[in-house]
Amino acid sequence: MINQGFSASLRDFLPEGSVEIVSEWLVNYKISLKIVRERNTKLGDYRCPSSLKGHRISVNGNMNPYSFLITLVHEMAHLLVWEKYRGKVYPHGKEWKQTYADLILEFISARVFPYDVHVVLENSLLKTKANSYGNIKLSRVLKKYDLKETGSLVEDVPDNTVFKLQNGLTFKKIRKNRIRYRCLCLENKRIYSVHPLAKVISVLN
């Protein structure tokens, strides 16, 4: 039996229909789940057991419920692969991809995701990237459910616009490559390939 207070706290972050499954994971695998403030470099992480601690997963707490669940599934797949292979396979190799797909399909079958997220997830399972931002279509559809999004994205600002990102650096947008945008960093004069869905904090011209 899952502790009701424990499940209730998860409902603040997870979509309806997913809480019981996630609660069972946390209990059965004795996982320490830490919900943290937004990190610019990652959405979540998994740490395998040590002599003093068990399985540890952290997930950024600023995401919408569907993004939060997908990130948690990503890290849970790492846990299950570690349990089976003990670090003898690649972190995002075929074993991880299959495990991730199996876990996601459980939530798809339970109709946890909205139809548009459901469709993109199904189509992307065979070519899963290391995180949801590696899949532009999935990232874009997930951003529709962000409740507190403000400001523009890099793909929204015109070429030759000067803008500042969350990391504090200022860029001038040059042009689009195949997926990312070629941008000049005005602080160090280097060219960067910037993700189209990166958040723009301010536009300077």
Band the pLDDT of 140: cuts 50, 70, 90: confident
CATH of the domain at 156: 2.30.30
Q: Which residue has the tokens 């996630």?
A: 22
Within this chain, do residues 86 and 183 fall inside the same structural domain, yes or no?
no
Query: For residue 189, what pLDDT is reported?
Result: 95
Q: What range does the domain containing 16 cover?
A: 4-143
The per-residue pLDDT for range 37-81, each reduced to its tens digit, is 988 789 999 999 998 899 999 999 989 999 999 999 999 999 999
Query: d(Cα 182, Cα 179) in Å, to the nearest integer?
Result: 10
47 contacts: CB under 8 Å, gap ≥ 6: 53, 55, 56, 57
Please say which residue of 103, 122, 143 terminates a domain: 143
Mean per-residue pLDDT over the chain, rounded: 88
Q: What is the pLDDT of residue 143?
A: 86
The whole-number pLDDT of residue 64 equals: 92
- Count: domains in the chain: 2
Q: Report the predicted TM-score, pTM, of the whole model to 2 decimal places.
A: 0.77
Judged against a pLDDT cut of 50, whether residue 144 lies above it is answered with yes
Dihedral pair phi/psi, residue 174, rounded to 5°: -100, -65
For 149-180, the pLDDT digits (tens) are 556 889 989 999 999 998 889 999 999 998 89
Q: In this structure, are 11 and 61 located in the same domain?
A: yes
